[in-house]
């Protein structure tokens, strides 16, 4: 398996959390979920490959108590995101490293879907297949 960098805090001395195994990934998500209960908006975690953080696909995961989202940005490829209720309107507010991050409400899915995509990203060495059924191309507009 790959080693992932997970970044969700800010500050000059903050180092990425290194994730090597599925158990470490599960534990990390559980900690972020618990921490999110204390804040107004759930956090967004940025995941990259530790071996090549600037050349690997970036995965942003919103991790709330019960819901979240995934945005997958492969270099030179098609950006994709989760699709929850297509009738959902408006924007959901998340916290991306101390800044407000607006996400279309329709991208929110059950947290189990977020966790499954994170597990696939780790198992796939930072790559998700183009036919990953939970991800849909982002509208470029």
Q: What is the mean pLDDT of residues 15-43?
A: 92
Domain count, the chain: 1
Report the residue count for the chain: 141
Segment holding 120, helix H or strand E? helix 111-123
pLDDT in tens, 9-19: 766 677 889 99
User: What pLDDT is recorded for position 67?
Assistant: 94
- Which tens digits make up the pLDDT trace of 49-58? 999 888 889 9
* Full-model pTM: 0.93
Mean of per-residue pLDDT scores for the chain: 91
The answer, yes or no, to whether residue 76 has pLDDT greater than 90, is: no
Structural domain for 88, as ranges: 4-137
Judged on CB neighbours under 10 Å (0-12, 13-18, 19+), 138 is middle
Contacts 24+ apart (CB under 8 A), 10-18: 10/97, 10/98, 16/50, 16/53, 18/50
pLDDT at 141: 55
């Amino acid at each position: 398996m790959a080693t992932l960098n997970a970044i969700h805090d800010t500050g000059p001395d903050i180092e990425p959390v290194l994730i090597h195994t599925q158990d470490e990934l599960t534990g990390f998500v559980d900690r972020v979920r618990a921490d999110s209960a204390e804040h107004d908006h759930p956090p967004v975690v940025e995941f990259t490959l530790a071996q090549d953080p600037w050349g690997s696909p970036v995965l942003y995961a919103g991790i709330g108590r019960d819901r979240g989202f995934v945005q997958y940005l492969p270099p030179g490829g098609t950006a994709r995101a989760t699709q929850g209720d297509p009738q959902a309107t408006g924007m959901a507010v998340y916290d991306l490293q101390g800044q407000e991050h607006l996400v279309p409400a329709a991208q929110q899915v059950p947290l189990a879907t977020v966790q499954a995509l994170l597990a696939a990203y780790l198992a796939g060495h930072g790559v998700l297949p183009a036919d990953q059924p939970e991800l849909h191309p982002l509208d470029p507009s």
